[in-house]
Amino acid sequence: MRLLPNWKAVLRYAWSIRFIVLAAALSGAEVALPLIRHILPIPAGIFAALSFVTVAAAFIARIIAQKEISDG
């Protein structure tokens, strides 16, 4: 396994990376939900569903060419 020559640009500009980070945050929110349920009445599973949608968006973003990032 080798890193891309422009891996720093990929981390900075790729929408797939941004979506993956958002999905991780939503997964963390789903885990923390029982701790804050008495403060915010959020239905169970909402963050998990949003995380699923975000991961699907990351998959799509990964296969779409992006202007900010060259091939290498």
Q: What is the pLDDT of residues 57-69, one digit of tens each?
A: 999 998 987 777 7
Q: What is the pLDDT of residues 48-57, one digit of tens each?
A: 899 999 999 9
Whether residue 45 is predicted with pLDDT greater than 90 in this model: the reply is: no
Mean pLDDT of the chain: 87
The answer to whether residues 26 and 47 touch, using CB atoms and an 8 Å cutoff, is yes
Which pLDDT score, from 0 to 100, does residue 21 have? 96
Whether residue 72 is predicted with pLDDT greater than 60 in this model: the reply is: no
Q: Which DSSP letter does residue 19 get?
A: H
SS3 letters across 22-70: HHHHHHHHHHHHHHHCCCCCCCCCHHHHHHHHHHHHHHHHHHCCCCCCC
Query: Which residue carries 């169970």 as its tokens?
Result: 44
- The closest of 5, 58, 3 to 27, measured between CA atoms, is 58
